């Protein structure tokens, strides 16, 4: 298990706060992970993914989005989503100071969605290779039981290679819906399904399973090399 240290950098606004995993044998690349709307960067899923990737050479920063830095509980406000994206942008800038290789961005649910919106809205992020790829865990395609409210408008502008990891029982989008959404993205995409898993990918509280992080890493390395 890789040790994680508390990380805080307020040289930019919003500040970057979270935990940094430093690998024993770095491969030169890094991954930034953000949490879902009802969680924070201590979510068991993010911890497991971070430890797995760090164990294979990646520097990993799991960070609290600005809305969570400002409020310990409660969902994000739609009007402040742009500030959450600015927080991700700042995390990239801060990590780039110490990472010479590729930087990958992503997260669970809301965090992953904000990552896609950031990359779609700022093509320079892709052109300048600030973000080499996205890892999207349980992308929230629509609110539960509201499949007509699709969150896909920005996907036609997303030109960042993306790996989507999705449970077959996720109420935020069926596998068929996600597959159709991926068809809108003008970049390389891959979909990895987790059979029988819901939106939490089976990482709710202490109910963890060990296989998905390793499988996700293998699929990630297969896609991005």
Does pLDDT of 38 surpass 80? yes
- Looking up tokens 């960067």 gives 41
Confidence of residue 76 (pLDDT cuts 50, 70, 90): very high
Q: How far is the C-alpha of 63 from the C-alpha of 17, rounded, in Å?
A: 6
Confidence of residue 208 (pLDDT cuts 50, 70, 90): low
Q: What is the pLDDT of residue 2?
A: 57
Domain boundaries, the chain: 4-224
Helices (H) and strands (E) in the chain, counts: 7, 8
Confidence of residue 99 (pLDDT cuts 50, 70, 90): very high
39-62 confidence digits (pLDDT tens): 999 999 999 999 999 999 999 999
Query: 192, 219 in Cβ contact below 8 A?
Result: yes
Query: 60, 21 in Cβ contact below 8 A?
Result: yes
Does pLDDT of 200 surpass 60? yes
Query: 30, 105 in Cβ contact below 8 A?
Result: no
Choose the CATH number for 4-224 among 3.40.50.1820, 3.40.630.10, 3.30.1300.10, 3.10.20.30.
3.40.50.1820
Query: 172, 109 in Cβ contact below 8 A?
Result: yes
Q: How far is the C-alpha of 23 from the C-alpha of 11, rounded, in Å?
A: 25
Per-residue pLDDT, averaged over 74-100, amounts to 95
Query: Among candidates 209, 225, 221, 218, which has minimal Cα distance to 48?
Result: 209
145-189 confidence digits (pLDDT tens): 999 999 999 999 999 999 999 999 999 999 999 999 999 999 999
Q: How far is the C-alpha of 20 from the C-alpha of 62, rounded, in Å?
A: 7
| Average per-residue pLDDT for the chain | 93
pTM: 0.94
Q: What is the pLDDT of residue 129?
A: 65
Give me the percent of the chain exceeding a pLDDT of 90: 89
Helix or strand (DSSP H, E) at 212:
helix 211-224
Does pLDDT of 125 surpass 80? no
Does pLDDT of 1 surpass 80? no
């Amino acid at each position: 298990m890789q040790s994680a240290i508390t990380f805080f950098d307020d040289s930019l606004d919003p500040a970057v706060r979270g935990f940094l995993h430093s690998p024993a044998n770095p491969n030169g690349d890094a991954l930034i992970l953000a949490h879902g709307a009802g969680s924070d960067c201590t979510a068991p899923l993010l911890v497991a993914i971070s430890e797995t990737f760090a164990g294979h050479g990646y520097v990993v920063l799991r960070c609290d989005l600005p809305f969570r830095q400002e409020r310990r509980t409660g969902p994000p406000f739609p009007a402040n989503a742009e500030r959450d994206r600015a927080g991700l942008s700042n995390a990239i800038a801060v990590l780039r100071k110490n990472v010479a290789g590729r930087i990958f961005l992503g997260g669970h649910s809301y965090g992953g969605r904000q990552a896609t919106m950031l990359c779609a809205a700022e093509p320079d992020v892709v052109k300048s290779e600030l973000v080499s790829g996205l890892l999207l865990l349980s992308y929230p395609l629509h609110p539960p039981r509201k499949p007509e409210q699709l969150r896909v408008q920005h996907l036609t502008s997303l030109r960042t290679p993306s790996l989507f990891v999705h449970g077959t029982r996720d109420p935020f989008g069926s596998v068929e819906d996600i597959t159709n959404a991926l068809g809108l993205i003008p970049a390389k995409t891959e979909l990895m399904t987790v059979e029988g898993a819901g939106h939490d990918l089976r990482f709710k509280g202490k109910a963890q399973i060990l296989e998905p992080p390793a499988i996700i890493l293998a699929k990630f390395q297969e896609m991005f090399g």
